[in-house]
Amino acid sequence: MPDTAPSPERVREALDELLGWPGVARSPQLAELLRYVVEKTLAGEAAGIKAYSIAVDVFGRPLGFDPQADPIVRVQARRLRTLLEQYYQSDQSHGPVQIHLPLGRYVPEFKLVEPTEPPRPADVADVSSGRSAPVSDEDTNRRLFRFLLRSLLAVSFGLVGMVLAIVLGRLMAPVEISDKSFPTTPRLFVSSFDNLTGDSGLDPVAKDLAPDLERRMRRFDEVAIVLTPARNALVLHGALQTEDRQLTLRATLSDANGNGILWAKTFKSLPGSSLTTTLEDAASRITGELGSWRGPLHAPSRAWFAEQKAIPEAPTHYVCMLAYFNWRDTRLLANADKALACLDDLLLRTPGDGTATAAHAGLSAWRAEYLSRPADSMTDLLAPEVTEAARAIALSPTSSFAYERQAMVLARAGSVNASFGSFTKALALNPGNTDAQALYASILWRDGQWQAAISLGERAIASVDSPPPSYFAIRAYDAMRQRQYLDAIAAAQVMATGDEETAAAIALAAAPFVGRDDLVVRYKPLVLDDPRFQEVGILPRLLRSTGSQLLIDRLREGLLKAGIPQAALDGAFNPDGSART
């Protein structure tokens, strides 16, 4: 390899080649990180490439950023390092310069690569004269010998490759979670439902329950329906019964290996409800609970993921979706970066994965909005995510999840009416998609359709036994809007584990009106210490997330009453609440 350093022109050619590669182009943040470290190095400012400067200059972190508390730079650098290695290992580069990011450093290295030697023209046509070169008998014999030798070696290596493939295939075959491998998509067998009412007229009703539930469960992307109770499948079964003259449907989920009941629900008909209504409501509750990532089907996988200190190498689709939904329940930036790194890795290996593409687009859009400033144009900022979400639909046109993600990307980009169409499609494909219901409610709220938002939001909460924190956002917003301060506090405190920023502000604003000085003491420091609030002001940031000026007016009233300085409400401020100069 040449000892001389490559010229800046050659380095920039390599940079442009990488920026045009879909693996990097898919993530604007990684593209900007790559451009930043390369240009800084070429400008002779390599000594200034530190975690702090990258966080502030590339990722928009505030000046008070703490690299130890926020791993954004380490996580993104690891993602970029992996992408660069994969790009050059796949022999996609044709230039003489390669750009690498050494382990443990943020300063890139530029490596000159020996050019590939072109084929020698010896023993082939003499192009200049248009005549063929003479070939001797000795040359012919040598060529024949080389040909036979290469053929023998090819056959030998082929046989060795077959043997290795068989051995590796056996070693890498899917195994149970108990063998400490990656978890796999849960498998579900829907068994028959028995009629134990004594009314033979209900036999057809009981017989139709299993096919109906199976059809509904097939709408969930991350559940595999099997036709026989295989050893590693879970079994859904149940019965129609009569208790105290009420029709009751009991559903249970058990292990096919006979290890007992894992989940059970009983649904009773309400007074005045028809049989059709009772069974429809029960079927919706059963599939909403089982299809949810927070439900019993995914419980072992969630437990496995919680024990992982880092995303494993070469993650599977299911592992990356676990990372994605772990972020969705926490809304933490660090978890978002981990999930994006997982999805980036996955999509490099399987670019045709529609639901992973949808998850990547939705998560990238959330991250961009979370880090944006009030003056930013979300339409321009999210143009790549809008395109990626449309591609996900093309790859998975029957996926409710893909349409749900497209709806949120469009809403964040300012295309609210278009997002309504995507939400409608998502719920038509899978009415049991409670996440789509809750998210649709949030966009209806931003659009000022409060009653519709409340109705849909409450429906999502009622559909599952343990609703995630984000489902309570509309309840907290509406309670604050109507000055129902105790209800606002209750909803905000549930919401806080999945949205510390908005929930803390709502609880703090409601607390003074009901004499909850203890909540003022608890939440006031959290609000004033929030770096995202400090950067632009509390209310401008909340307006973007809630989309309601009336709610902002209610929050202003309460936050002032709680002792938040006026300067901190409308512009950048210091931790003590004074205006930042």
Average pLDDT over residues 434-463: 92
Are the CB atoms for 330 and 499 separated by under 8 Å? no
Q: Are 222 and 293 in contact (CB under 8 A)?
A: yes
Place 140 in a pLDDT band, splitting at 50, 70 and 90: very low
Q: 187-296: which CATH architecture?
A: 3-Layer(aba) Sandwich (3.40)
DSSP letter assigned to residue 385: H
Residue 224, Cβ density class (10 Å: 0-12 exposed, 13-18 middle, ≥19 buried): middle
Highest mean pLDDT: which range of 25-34, 80-89, 158-167, 441-450: 441-450
Instruction: Name the token pair of 162.
Output: 């077959």
The CATH fold assigned to 365-377+387-570 is 1.25.40
For range 31-35, the mean pLDDT: 88
pLDDT tens, residue by residue, 250-288? 899 988 776 678 888 888 877 777 888 888 888 888 998
**Spatial distance between the Cα atoms of 405 and 402, rounded to a whole number of angstroms:** 5
Contacts of 525 (CB under 8 A, 6+ apart): none
Average pLDDT over residues 102-112: 88
Comparing CA positions, the residue from 233, 235, 247 lying closest to residue 210 is 235
Could you tell me the pLDDT band of residue 68, with boundaries at 50, 70 and 90? Answer: low
Quick one: what percent of the chain has pLDDT higher than 70? 86
User: Cα angle vertex 153, ends 150, 154, to 5°?
Assistant: 85
490-519 average pLDDT score: 89
What pLDDT band is residue 215 in, cutting at 50, 70 and 90? very high
| Residue 148 pLDDT class (50, 70, 90 cuts) | very low
Integer Cα distance of 100 and 42 in angstroms? 14
Neighbours of 161 (CB within 10 A): 10
Sequence-distant contacts of 370-375: CB under 8 A, at least 24 apart: 370/333, 370/336, 370/532, 371/59, 371/60, 372/60, 372/544, 373/60, 373/535, 373/536, 374/536, 374/540, 374/541, 374/543, 374/544
Instruction: With a cut of 90, say whether residue 560 has pLDDT above it.
Output: yes
d(CA 358, CA 324): 11
Mean pLDDT value across the chain? 83
Read off the pLDDT band of 440 (50, 70, 90): very high
Higher pLDDT, 90 or 119: 90
Contact call for residues 390 and 406 (beta carbons, < 8 A): yes
Q: What is the pLDDT of residues 280-330, one digit of tens each?
A: 888 888 998 898 888 899 999 999 998 888 888 889 999 999 999 999 888
Of 12-21, 85-94, 96-105, the range with the lowest mean pLDDT is: 85-94
Instruction: Give the pLDDT score at 258.
Output: 62
pLDDT at residue 1 in the model: 43
> Mind listing the pLDDT tens digit for each residue in 383-422?
999 999 999 999 999 999 999 999 999 999 999 999 999 9
Of 24 and 109, more confident: 109
Q: How much is the average pLDDT of 337-346?
A: 93
- Say if residue 37's pLDDT is above 80: yes
What's the order of all strands across the beta sheet hosting 261-268?
224-225, 187-195, 234-243, 246-255, 261-268
Q: Quick count: other Cβ atoms within 10 Å of Cβ 120?
A: 7
| 395 within 8 A of 352, measured Cβ to Cβ | yes
Query: In the predicted model, what is the mean pLDDT of residues 68-94?
Result: 78
Q: How confident is the model at residue 151 (pLDDT cuts 50, 70, 90)?
A: very low
Q: Please tell me the distance from the alpha carbon of residue 60 to that of residue 531, in angstroms, as a whole number.
A: 11
pLDDT at 69: 64
Tell me what pLDDT residue 3 has: 52
Place of tokens 């230039």: 95
Q: Which of 124-133, 135-144, 505-514, 546-555 has the lowest mean pLDDT?
A: 124-133
Do the beta carbons of residue 212 and residue 174 sit within 8 Å? Answer: no
User: What is the rounded radius of gyration, in angstroms, for the C-alpha atoms of the chain?
Assistant: 30
Q: What per-residue confidence (pLDDT) applies to 256?
A: 72
464 pLDDT band, cuts 50/70/90, is confident
Instruction: Report whether pLDDT(168) > 70.
Output: no
Look at residues 403, 319, 308 and name the one whose alpha carbon lies nearest to residue 355: 403
Return all residues near 515 (Cβ < 8 A) that are at least 6 apart: none
